[in-house]
Amino acid sequence: MKVYSNRFGTLDVTEESLVIFPAGLVGFPSHHRFVVLDVENTSEYQWLQCADEPSLAFVLVDIQSLDTDCQIEIPDDSLHELDVQTTDTLSLLAVVTIPADAPERASANLRAPIIVNLRTRKGKQLILHESMPIRYPLIPESAQMSRSPTATTEPASV
DSSP, residue by residue, 16-33: GGEEE-TT-BTTBTT--E
Report how far apart, in Å, the C-alpha atoms of 64 and of each of 49, 67, 109, 110, 112 are. 21, 8, 13, 11, 15
Contact predicate 126/113, CB 8 Å:
yes
pLDDT of residue 148: 46
Measure CA of the first residue to CA of the last residue in the chain; give whole Å.
64
**Model pLDDT, residue 130:** 85
Residue 157's pLDDT is 34
- Give the pLDDT of residue 68: 82
**Alpha carbons 7 and 104: distance in angstroms, whole number:** 22
List domains and CATH numbers for the chain: 2-140 (2.30.290.10)
Q: Report d(CA 47, CA 148) in Å as an integer.
A: 28
pLDDT profile of the chain (158 residues), mean per 10 = 95 95 96 92 86 96 87 92 96 95 94 96 94 90 52 38
127 vs 46: CA distance, rounded Å: 21
> What pLDDT was estimated at residue 155?
39
**pLDDT value for 41:** 73
pLDDT of residue 16: 92
